[in-house]
Amino acid sequence: MRMKLLLAASAFALLAACTPAAPAPEAAAPVKATLGEFGIDLTNADATVKPGDDFFKYANGKWLATFEMPADKARYGSFDALGEKSENDVKSIIDGFAATPPAAGSNVAKAADLYASWMDEATLETRGVEPLKPYIDTINGITDKASLLKVLATFGYTSPFGLGIEADTADPTRYAVWGSQSGLGMPDREYYLDTSERMAAYREAYKAYVTKIFELLGDTAAAKSADAVIKFETEVAKGHWKQEELRVADKAFKGMDAAAFQKLVPNIDLAKFAADAGLPPLTNMVAYGDTSITAGAKLVDTQSLDTWKKYLTFHIASDNAAYLTKAFDDARFDFYSKTLSGVTAKRDRWKRGVQLLDRTIGEALGEAYAAKFFPPENKAKMEALVANLHTALESRLKTLAWMDDPTRTEALKKLANFEVRVGYPNKWRDYSAMQVDKAKLFENVMAANKFEWDRQVARLGGPVDRDEWGMNAQTVNASYNPLMNQITFPAGILQPPFFDVNADPAVNYGAIGAVIGHEIGHGFDDQGSAFDDKGVQRDWWTPETKAKFLAAADQLNKQYDGYCPFTDKCVIGKLTTGENIGDLGGMIMAYTAYKQSLNGAEAPVIEVNGVKYTGDQRFFLSWAQVWRATAREEMARQLLTTDPHSPPEYRVNGVMPNIDEWYTAFNVQPGDKMYIAPENRVRIW
């Protein structure tokens, strides 16, 4: 092929030499950034706000003042806008199936059939509660402890304790069976145990919802059944760890053999339970929140079989309400979306269908998405950016004053072994074993979930698959896996405002560059730092350096503890530690990489509407644009309790005051509201 191209070029050259000279073609117009003049939408900014008083509002104030939350959203920002674009892109692929039907039995054919079963609302109404009958019959067949445990071990049922499969913390080249807390119907233990009026109101609303589900199931004593379920779940909640406690790696993750795990659940025959779950004989295991597993197991003996039956019946219906009749779906929406999140309208059904495909058969569409929407040049430029961030952190690690040489050696080794995945996986999942029936939505979802469980079980005993992705190509997110020492950037996030091949370099470094730095930083945050370069959970820090790191992290925690979106509700520093360290370290890494990319030259000043923006200003504004977002109060409060990420405004206003260069870029002075004295600024990475 290459020879043919060369011959064609030679023929063209001879022809041109024998003909009159043609007029020179007009120069192509420069390709413009997608957002604004250089990659930032300056129409969202509010110049009346001093940057040093509220940088988040300075960058996004006009948008915050004028944006109207969509009725079907609990929160909305840059991630959500890009997520909607991704949904539309995936929908265009699905719509294309009508014109060009996929090959029968192929991955995309299964996705198309699953989507069709979701969109067929008439059949859902006709079938009613029929899909639940086999599960409810199984629950009603519980007569003793042994039959209860058999049901709890069977895939598809909810339990206060659960088993999963992931890499082993002691040896990440092999898989382990993990045990963890589970089983609540509300978002977190605090919704059951917090005595505030707001949480009490949520509990009342939950009671109404549980009652409604039992009514739809035909229970003639629905309210009494609801009381039993909520009382049971309150006991479950008492045994759960707090979210911030689960972040303490050396306490939360405990590798052990099956005999040691058996001691956590002395009232359960672990070997039989595992066999009923379809697992091979257990060997290496990990307890995630060990005492919560013990507390959940105790309920097998302390709660009546009748209570267990009500609990299991409620959850098989509630957890799958979206795949049943409109009445079930509406009831679930009214509690989880309206009451807990403040949403006033359901999302369009096709959008929810795309989300369902993402959760159940996402890689089938991811392959088509990547081929259609992710050009090779994006992958190449992203990989170059990652390499620059890697170099930036390496240079910082070599000069960190608070880190001693033995720890530095280990840190550099870990950084050197980082594995970067960009765009999409090297191999795509085979869904041929998954059965899909266009007329049976409920069964399709259960089959998809069972397919995933069986796929994971089949991996036990074999080496860990390092090529497997935990995200789809169309996902708008990024991740770090401490057990694999891998960072992953799906194609979905590699679009404006995060990444634009035509944007000013300062903008790309301040957006996707800082996101890259953030994910690299997770390898060295409060959790990631507990795993070494191979992903093994071990303490590779000297005590002296570890003490300095923890002191800096504690200082950052106290800073974030002082951020209070509501008079009665503040950010929890210990819950958000890792993400806050990631944000701060990511920004500093990205800034270092940006400066290194200039090779000692000054960045050009860009003027827009008479206002001049330096490279540093564009860099910091870009990060602020990425986190432009707002949320309904109900959702904002829920996230403060359950989300390890700080609210968007503090992902900006919490980071900037710790970066010296930000002060210079925007002339921030003592007396400005965000000002922190130099000696009190936190600089970790």
Outline which parts of the chain fall under CATH 3.40.390.10.
Answer: 377-425+469-680
- The distance of Cα 42 from the centroid of its chain, to the nearest Å, equals 28
| Whether 615 contacts 506, CB under 8 Å | yes
Helix (H) or strand (E) holding 162: strand 161-167
Question: Assign residue 50 a region: left if phi > 0, alpha if psi is -120 to 50, beta otherwise?
Answer: beta
DSSP state of 523: T
262: its two tokens:
């058996």
Residue type, 630: T
Secondary structure E strands in 356-427: 419-423
Reduced to 3 states, what is the DSSP secondary structure of residue 631? strand
Q: How far apart are CA 525 and CA 541, in angstroms?
A: 13
| Whether 563 contacts 571, CB under 8 Å | yes
Q: How far apart are CA 240 and CA 243, in angstroms?
A: 9
DSSP state of 654: T
Q: How far apart are CA 381 and CA 377, in angstroms?
A: 6
Burial bucket for residue 394 (CB in 10 Å: 0-12, 13-18, 19+) = middle
DSSP state of 426: S
| Whether 154 contacts 445, CB under 8 Å | no
- In the β-sheet with 419-423, what is the strand arrangement from edge to edge? 419-423, 486-490, 479-481
pLDDT value of position 243: 95
Q: Which distant-in-sequence residues (6+ apart) come within 8 Å of 524 by Cβ?
A: 411, 414, 581, 585, 685
Residue 367, phi then psi, degrees to nearest 5: -65, -45
Question: What pTM does this model have?
Answer: 0.91
CATH no. for 377-425+469-680: 3.40.390.10
Cα–Cα distances (Å) from 418 to 337, 381, 393, 483, 586, in that order, read: 39, 18, 12, 11, 15
| Whether 158 contacts 296, CB under 8 Å | no
Count of Cβ atoms closer than 10 Å to residue 482 Cβ: 24
Reduced to 3 states, what is the DSSP secondary structure of residue 602? coil
Reduced to 3 states, what is the DSSP secondary structure of residue 618? helix
pLDDT value of position 30: 53
Q: Point out which residues pair with 80 in neighbouring strands.
A: none
Q: How far apart are CA 552 and CA 57, in angstroms?
A: 27
Q: What is the 3-state secondary structure (H, E, C) of 50-111?
A: CCCCCHHHHHHHHHHHHCCCCCCCCEEEHHHHHHHHHHHHHHHHHHHHHHCCCCCCCHHHHH
Q: Which CATH architecture has domain 132-352?
A: Orthogonal Bundle (1.10)
Q: Point out which residues pair with 420 in neighbouring strands.
A: 487
Report the C-alpha dihedral over residues 442, 443, 444, 450, rounded to 10 degrees.
120
Helix axes 376-397, 514-522, angle to 10 degrees: 60
Residues shown for the chain: 685
Nearest to 517 by CA among 593, 578, 577, 574: 593
Outline which parts of the chain fall under CATH 1.10.1380.10.
Answer: 132-352
Q: How far apart are CA 352 and CA 364, in angstroms?
A: 17
Q: How far apart are CA 181 and CA 296, in angstroms?
A: 7
Residue 420, phi then psi, degrees to nearest 5: -110, 130
- Give DSSP secondary structure letters for 128-152: TTGGGHHHHHHHHT--SHHHHHHHH
pLDDT value of position 379: 87
| Whether 491 contacts 383, CB under 8 Å | no
Nearest to 277 by CA among 130, 445, 460, 137: 460
Q: How far apart are CA 473 and CA 468, in angstroms?
A: 12
Cα–Cα distances (Å) from 512 to 390, 490, 493, 505, 509, in that order, read: 14, 12, 9, 11, 6
pLDDT value of position 21: 33
Q: How far apart are CA 594 and CA 435, in angstroms?
A: 49
Residues in the chain with pLDDT values less than 50: 1-29
Q: How far apart are CA 317 and CA 211, in angstroms?
A: 12
pLDDT value of position 277: 96
Q: What is the 3-state secondary structure (H, E, C) of 463-488?
A: ECCCCCCCCCCCCCCCEEECCCCEEE
Structure confidence by residue, pLDDT tens digits, 302-350: 999 999 999 999 999 999 999 999 999 999 999 999 999 999 999 999 9
- Give DSSP secondary structure letters for 260-307: HHHHHSTTS-HHHHHHHTTPPSP-EEEEESHHHHHHHHHHHHHS-HHH
User: Which residue carries 């720890």 as its tokens?
Assistant: 407
